[in-house]
Amino acid sequence: MSIGEVYNKIKNEIPENVTLICVSKTRQISEIKEAYDSGARDFGENKVQEFLEKYDSIGKDIRWHFIGHLQTNKVKYIVGKVHLIHSLDSIHLLKEIEKRYGAKNEIANVLIQINIGNEIAKTGVAPEEMNDLIKACEECNNVKVKGLMATIPIGDDESSRKYFAKMKAVFDDLKTYKYKNVSMEFLSLGMSKDFPIALEQGANMIRLGTKIFGKRDYKKLEAL
Binding site for ligand PLP (CB under 6 A): 23, 25, 46, 67-68, 151, 191-192, 207-211
Q: What are phi and psi of 109, to 5 degrees?
A: -95, 125
Residue 141 one-letter amino acid: N
Q: What are phi and psi of 69, to 5 degrees?
A: -60, 130
CB of 215 to ligand PLP, least distance (A): 8
Bridge partners of 44, per DSSP, are 23, 65
Residue nearer to ligand PLP on the CB measure, 23 or 133: 23
Residue nearer to ligand PLP on the CB measure, 38 or 123: 123
Nearest to 47 by CA among 31, 62, 65: 65
Residue nearer to ligand PLP on the CB measure, 67 or 184: 67
CB of 117 to ligand PLP, least distance (A): 14
CA distance 108 to 125: 18
Residue nearer to ligand PLP on the CB measure, 85 or 140: 85
CB of 149 to ligand PLP, least distance (A): 8
CA distance 61 to 82: 11
CB of 197 to ligand PLP, least distance (A): 13
The DSSP secondary-structure symbol of 46 reads -
First to last CA, the chain: 23
CB of 126 to ligand PLP, least distance (A): 18
Please state the separation of Cα 223 from the chain's center in Å: 25
Ranked by CB distance to ligand PLP, the top (closest) residue is: 209
Residue nearer to ligand PLP on the CB measure, 151 or 181: 151
